[in-house]
Amino acid sequence: MRIYRGVCIVPSSRRAACAAGLLLLAACASPPPPPQQCVAPPPVEPVVVPPAPACEPEIDLATEAALRKLGLGNEWHQEGRYEAAFEAYEAVLAEHASLLADAYALWGIVSLRLDRDNPGYSRDAAQTVTYVLDQRAAQAVHGEAAAEARLLWFAAKIMIEADVSKDKVVAENRKLRAELEQRDEAIKRLRDLTVGQ
């Protein structure tokens, strides 16, 4: 180390070490960097979660009972137990469980009244019941069962029209049988006349 005009001259390797030391002292002496701003995320908006649906289905006991009675009425009708079937359909109507159950019961009565094997066969009664079914379907115009009730009414009308057509076919068959018998008799007489000559 030399002193020249009041200044201390340090060799270069020492200079570098001194410079590094001064830098280190300066770095330690400088104030710390300002703290970073912590910005909180915006608050999460609460999400409305609808309550979970109940695990148990809603059970309408009156409708369930009406459906069982309708099933029994259909079964008894197929077995030829017409009176029991009629009573089952009437029981459904007496309960008024739902418009749709009533519509099916009325349709069952129409079907029962148009069954030609039924001793209680009556096209007039079937037409009256169809009229009642039409009224019930009209009452349900805005309900969820409206389309199905209207379809049952339409099916009942078609059953009545088919029954009328069946009468026409039966009458036509009788007429054709009578004509065939007359023809057979005429052929027989011609043979007898031809053989007799």
Residue 43's pLDDT band (cuts 50, 70, 90): confident
CA 153, CA 149: separation in Å to the nearest integer?
6
> Residue 139: CB partners within 8 Å, gap ≥ 6?
99
Answer whether 110's CB lies under 8 Å from 118's CB: no
CA 131, CA 46: separation in Å to the nearest integer?
57
126-185 pLDDT, tens per residue?
999 999 999 888 887 777 788 888 899 899 999 999 999 988 998 899 999 999 999 999
Domain boundaries in the chain?
A: 61-184
pTM flag (> 0.85)? no
